Amino acid sequence: MSNSTPPAFQRQQFRKSSRSGQDPHRCVEVAHARGWVAIRDSKRPWDSRDDHHLVFTAAQFAAFLDGVRHGELA
């Protein structure tokens, strides 16, 4: 179970999603820490004004992925 405050994710925690394509500048990056999951768009330079992360609890992220897999978000 995660606490109520997500961690401050660092650049080195993010990895390229296994579902992203071959272009390293057009992929989704994912990070996991202390029961939280963050995703970001690799096209955005790290720490730039438009570098935003979506942060979920692990349970929320699992539900999100389940919805994607079942076409519920189309």
pLDDT band at 13 (very low <50, low <70, confident <90, very high): very high
Lookup: tokens for 21: 């394509």
Burial environment of residue 29 by CB neighbours within 10 A (0 to 12, 13 to 18, 19 or more): buried
Q: What is the pLDDT of residues 19-62, one digit of tens each?
A: 777 766 668 889 999 999 999 888 887 888 877 889 999 999 99
Who wins on pLDDT, 45 or 13? 13
Whether 2 shows a pLDDT value over 60: the answer reads no
CA distance 71 to 9: 29
* pTM of the model as a whole: 0.77
Helices (H), the chain: 58-69
